[in-house]
Chains A and B, each alone.
Chain A
């Protein structure tokens, strides 16, 4: 079995979806080139997209003068990403449970639970403007 060289990314971009899309595509291409499964790539895609869109939309309030910082460490077996915005942060414990009957039809509030679904670990910093997620590759 051969191992790929670990791959790192450290980028800052303006709070617009195009920047997030471009970086997400680079990361997914790297995962695929390292042989991560379609299922794992799906999970990383969904979790990363949620984190980046939360940073743009809720953290930086779509203010293009504010930046989003993305750091990724990727190896054959492990994915770790940290997304930091320039907003005031939030308390993830206060986000309503999207699976409750009264919240099912709401079009927001699912991001954090979906990130938890597909990542092995999800941690917010104390003020809530940075999230770190990690996932170990599933054996295929």
Chain B
């Protein structure tokens, strides 16, 4: 039977797993189109529901544009994950996108790592505590 993780690949996001940390990457380098953003929101919510206390690293390394509508989907995901006792870390943001998060003070809502390896390491560490 296909796992929930496997069933989400080939959509707007792809998933990897390191220990119990799930790593999200975006299939497209520009997340902008309204229909695409709605689909992204559904996939992220499915991810948040796929396990208890999810630990999720979002890897932006291939993302050139991420609309504020898409950022809203991340905010919804963060609320769901936090409500379930899980954690989210963002990583590998391009300078312009990092500026958006900083200027909007969203770096107070999300912990942002320069490197995805650091983000994974931190969440893997907290899951063992």
Q: Which A residues fall within an 8 A CB radius of B?
A: 17, 21, 24, 38-39, 42-43, 45-46, 49-50, 53, 98-99, 101, 104-108, 110-111, 113-114, 117
Contact = CB atoms under 8 A, between A and B. Distances in A.
B33 A46 contact: no
B35 to A, nearest CB: 8
B76 A107 contact: yes
Contacts of B113: none
Nearest to A45: B65
Contacts of A99: 103-105
Interface in B53-76: 64-65, 67-69, 71-72, 75-76
B interface SS class: helix
Interface residues of B, number: 26
Given A105-B79, A113-B103, 4 more contacts: A99-B105, A104-B109, A105-B109, A107-B76
